Amino acid sequence: MTFVEFNGIILSIRSYKMSLNLQEGDLDITEGPCIPLQLRIILKRNKGCKDMYDIFIQNDSQPTSVRKWNDILNLDDNFNWNYCFHLPFRSTYDTHLRFFQYRINHRILGTNSFLLKLD
């Protein structure tokens, strides 16, 4: 499905909703046909996509780099990783040093021990 087709579907659903003169909160799944969750989210508000955005940013999983650093350094699960990830941006204005620290934190930098494991 292309973006134009998707946008056409969304606009047709919203125009149908406007023709029914529904107010926010009028859609109830206990009456009438069962409305799928995706459609309920689209019909929830007249304009905007905050509800869809909120669904996309819900991510409770831990990054791979954090799990690997916890295994290597034997850290607790309650270690403050946000502090570690924000520290380079608070400590220096040098972009090269920030980028270097970012690569270390996210285990992107190819160290000798890592390169030996690839061999």
- Residue-by-residue pLDDT tens, the chain, 119 positions: 788 888 888 888 878 777 777 665 555 545 556 777 777 777 777 776 777 778 778 877 788 889 888 988 898 888 888 898 899 889 999 999 999 999 988 888 877 777 787 76
Please tell me whether residues 70 and 85 are part of one structural domain. yes
- What Å distances lie between residue 87 and 3, 49, 71, 102, CA to CA? 40, 33, 21, 10
Query: Looking at this protein, which amino acid is placed at residue 8?
Result: G
Give the chain's domain count.
Answer: 2
Do 47 and 68 belong together in one domain? Answer: no
Q: Are residues 9 and 47 located together in one domain of the fold?
A: yes
Phi, psi of 80, rounded to the nearest 5 degrees = -85, 90
Do 68 and 113 sit in the same domain of this protein? Answer: yes
pTM above 0.75?
Answer: no
Q: Is there a single domain that holds both residue 88 and residue 114?
A: yes
Distance (Å, rounded) from C-alpha 104 to C-alpha 9?
45
One domain, residues 48 and 71: no
What DSSP state is assigned to residue 44?
S
- State the residue range of the domain holding 48: 3-57
CA angle 58, 61, 65 (to 5 degrees): 130
